[in-house]
């Protein structure tokens, strides 16, 4: 087992990763900047593909959502930041409109393993 595989963190049972639901979690790993800040993230199914991102808007570095589990725009097409309305593609995290256009959400590695949803901060 490599050192990196130890970094996987279970965030929910796999049965909770269902279409239309967003799982929110706090990562064990702390932010580097500002040092020691808790990092939060969210996971969801993009079609049938599990995706996970840090819950950090590239614009101001704050969490995207005000309401628990609510990340999508009213058309249910894009992830939307609730502060200034930036829109992000669910599949890539790329910001396609708003003050951070051209920037992107930070991707987390995600896997389904032993009936659990597991995530980790990429190297």
In the chain, beta strands by DSSP E: 9-13, 23-30, 38-46, 49-54, 79-80, 87-88, 95-97, 107-113, 116-120
Q: Which stretch binds ligand FES (CB under 6 A): 6-14, 71-79, 82-90, 115-123?
A: 82-90
3-state DSSP call for residue 49? strand
Task: Candidates 40, 45, 92, 99: give the one binding ligand FES (CB under 6 A).
Answer: 99
* Residue 59 in contact with ligand FES, rule: CB under 6 A: yes
- Residue 91 near residue 102, CB atoms below 8 Å: no
Of 52, 56, 81, 117, the one binding ligand FES by CB under 6 A = 81
Q: Which stretches of the chain bind ligand FES, using CB under 6 A?
A: 57, 59-60, 62, 81, 83-84, 86, 98-100
């Amino acid at each position: 087992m490599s050192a990196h595989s130890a970094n996987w963190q279970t965030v929910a049972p796999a049965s909770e990763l269902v279409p239309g639901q967003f799982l929110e979690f706090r990562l064990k790993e702390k932010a580097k900047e500002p040092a020691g800040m808790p990092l939060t993230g969210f996971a969801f199914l993009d079609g049938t593909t599990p995706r996970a991102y840090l819950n950090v808007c590239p614009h101001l570095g704050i969490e995207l959502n005000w309401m628990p589990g609510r990340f999508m725009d009213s058309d249910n097409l894009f992830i939307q930041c609730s502060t200034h309305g930036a829109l992000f593609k669910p599949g890539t995290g790329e910001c396609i409109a708003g003050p951070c256009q051209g920037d992107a959400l930070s991707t987390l590695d995600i896997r389904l393993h032993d009936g659990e949803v597991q995530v980790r901060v990429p190297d």
